[in-house]
């Protein structure tokens, strides 16, 4: 029988999980994964940057911060029609959730009705909706919920004691406050972080410990491998051992058994074999589509083939199960059959 969810992890307990022999950790994580989820189903979201670049914040990893010379051009908020066109394409390609990102510190009052109109239109296509717009006030969270938003993404990004080395323009507590507003409005929470920013194992444990000790486990937990972008302060930093990334996913699965754990940014730089290990360790969600916000994601043909080779199927939304996963399975099986014939 699945164990009760815990919210009282201490740091040493989480570090002890990281310190398990790799195979023992993966075996335990996979057992918990299979007890709570179909281990052959992966939730598929498509990401769109609806307002790109020009951000006043100083997040050391981010290509959209105005102060870094990364070549990302600042753009205005996209129109409802332009977003809808991209959402229709994402749905046709097999995504069940459409995630919209804006390079804002926080939305202004005047932005909320515009984003609400976008959310309403995308929701009308029968897609789940997610937005990530920066810090959020309680009344803004409520307006977005009323417009049909399902999830709000706001990451803790790192352990509390490492955060100050990465971001100076807002506090860890600001993030926790936004998460309170999101949860209290009835929105589902998507919250995770980034690894490979020069943090220690104890600090990776600290990120996961903080996530698991929130009043509710986030329904969706994106674990991003830092995508190093030229011009950002973190470009050129020593790369994290990929097996340590797998350990991070496995520990996330053990701490938050019912959450969807997303193998998030960084897949373009990963081998198929590494991604397969991530799915075994408990990852059951990805971003699908050739772009994340500003950086490259694996092309859809590669992902379709990977799903076919690993016998993975996209998790379907119950109410739209007949329509949402049109392309992602069938063409891949043909590709795979052709390549193994
Ligand atoms: N501006 C909003 C905010 O920061 O809350 C929303 C968009 S922001 C780009 C969303 C998340 O993307 C960040 O919290 C971070 O976790 C992730 N991210 C940004 N740049 C990244 C990178 N180079 N590699 C991995 N993850 C990244
Ligand atoms: C999340 O945790 N990762 C996504 C999504 N939430 C918004 C963003 C990844 C961004 C990677 C860098 C870029 O493409 O700009
Ligand atoms: Fe701005 Fe978000 Fe990038 Fe930070 S992560 S610089 S807040 S867009």
Coil, strand or helix at 289: coil
User: In which band, very low, low, confident or very high, does the pLDDT at 191 lie, cut at 50, 70 and 90?
Assistant: very high
What's the full length of the chain, in residues?
Answer: 341
What is the average pLDDT score of the chain?
Answer: 93
Q: Which of 62, 175, 191, 247 is catalytic?
A: 62
Which one of 54, 56, 59 would you pick to mutate in the ligand 3 pocket, going by the greatest count of ligand atoms within 8 A of its CB?
Answer: 59
- Quote the distance between the C-alpha of residue 215 and its chain's center: 20
How many A from CA of 178 to the centre of ligand 3? 15
Give dist(CA 328, CA 26) in Å, integer: 27
DSSP string covering 125-156, please?
Answer: TT-EEEEE-SS--HHHHHHHHHTT--EEE---
Q: What percent of the chain shows pLDDT beyond 90?
A: 90
* Residue 59 annotated to the active site: yes
How many A from CA of 307 to the centre of ligand 1? 26
Which atom of ligand 1 is found nearest the CA of 234?
23
pLDDT tens digit sequence for 136-163: 999 999 999 999 999 999 999 999 999 9
pLDDT tens digit sequence for 288-302: 999 999 999 999 999
Query: In the predicted model, is pLDDT for residue 4 greater than 60?
Result: yes
pLDDT at site 321: 39
Give dist(CA 230, CA 30) in Å, integer: 36
* Residue 262 annotated to the active site: yes
Indicate if ligand 3 lies below 6 Å from the C-beta of 62.
Answer: yes
* Residue 191 annotated to the active site: no
Indicate if ligand 2 lies below 6 Å from the C-beta of 212.
Answer: no
Residues 6+ apart with CB under 8 A from 32: 2, 253, 254, 257, 282
pLDDT at site 328: 55
User: In which band, very low, low, confident or very high, does the pLDDT at 3 lie, cut at 50, 70 and 90?
Assistant: low
Query: In the predicted model, is pLDDT for residue 67 greater than 70?
Result: yes
pLDDT at site 341: 28
Cβ neighbourhood burial of 58 (10 Å; 0-12, 13-18, 19+): middle
pLDDT at site 331: 40
pLDDT at site 318: 62
More confident residue, 331 or 108: 108
* Residue 213 annotated to the active site: no
Closest alpha carbon to 327 in 129, 88, 50: 88
pLDDT tens digit sequence for 73-86: 999 999 999 999 99
pLDDT at site 317: 72
Q: Which residues pair with 152 in a beta bridge?
A: 131, 189
Indicate if ligand 3 lies below 6 Å from the C-beta of 59.
Answer: yes
User: In which band, very low, low, confident or very high, does the pLDDT at 260 lie, cut at 50, 70 and 90?
Assistant: very high
Query: What Rg, from alpha-carbon coordinates, does the chain have?
Result: 19
How open is the CA angle 40-316-131, to the nearest 5 degrees? 110
Closest alpha carbon to 21 in 308, 202, 306, 247: 247
């Amino acid at each position: 029988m699945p164990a009760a969810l815990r919210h009282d992890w201490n740091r040493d307990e989480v570090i002890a999980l990281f310190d398990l022999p790799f195979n023992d950790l993966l075996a335990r994580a996979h057992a918990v994964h299979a007890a709570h989820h179909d281990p052959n189903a992966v939730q598929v979201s498509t990401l769109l940057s609806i307002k790109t670049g020009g951000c006043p914040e100083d997040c050391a990893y981010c290509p959209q911060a105005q102060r870094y010379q990364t070549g990302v051009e600042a753009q205005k908020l996209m129109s409802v029609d332009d977003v809808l066109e991209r959402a229709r394409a994402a749905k046709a390609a097999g995504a069940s959730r459409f995630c919209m990102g804006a390079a804002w510190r926080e939305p202004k009052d005047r932005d909320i009705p515009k984003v609400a109109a976008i959310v309403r239109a995308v929701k009308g296509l029968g897609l789940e909706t997610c937005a990530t717009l920066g810090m959020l006030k309680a009344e803004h969270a409520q307006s977005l919920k009323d417009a049909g938003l399902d999830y709000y993404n706001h990451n803790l990004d790192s352990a509390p004691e490492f955060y100050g080395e990465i971001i100076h323009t807002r506090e860890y507590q600001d993030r926790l406050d936004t998460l309170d507003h999101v949860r209290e409005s009835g929105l589902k929470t998507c919250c995770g972080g980034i690894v490979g920013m020069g943090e220690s194992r104890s600090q990776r444990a600290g990120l996961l410990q903080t996530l698991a000790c929130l009043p509710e486990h986030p329904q969706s937990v994106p674990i991003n491998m830092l995508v190093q972008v030229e011009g950002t302060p973190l470009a050129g930093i020593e790369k994290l051992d990929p097996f340590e990334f797998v350990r991070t996913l496995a520990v996330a699965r053990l701490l938050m058994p019912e959450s969807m754990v997303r193998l998030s940014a960084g897949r373009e730089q990963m081998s198929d074999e590494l991604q397969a290990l991530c799915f075994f360790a408990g990852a059951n969600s990805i971003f699908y589509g050739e772009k994340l916000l500003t950086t490259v994601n694996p092309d859809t043909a590669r992902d379709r083939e990977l799903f076919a080779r690993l016998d993975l199927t996209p998790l379907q939304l119950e109410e739209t199960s007949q329509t949402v996963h049109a392309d992602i399975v069938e063409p891949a099986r043909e590709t795979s059959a052709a390549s193994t014939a």
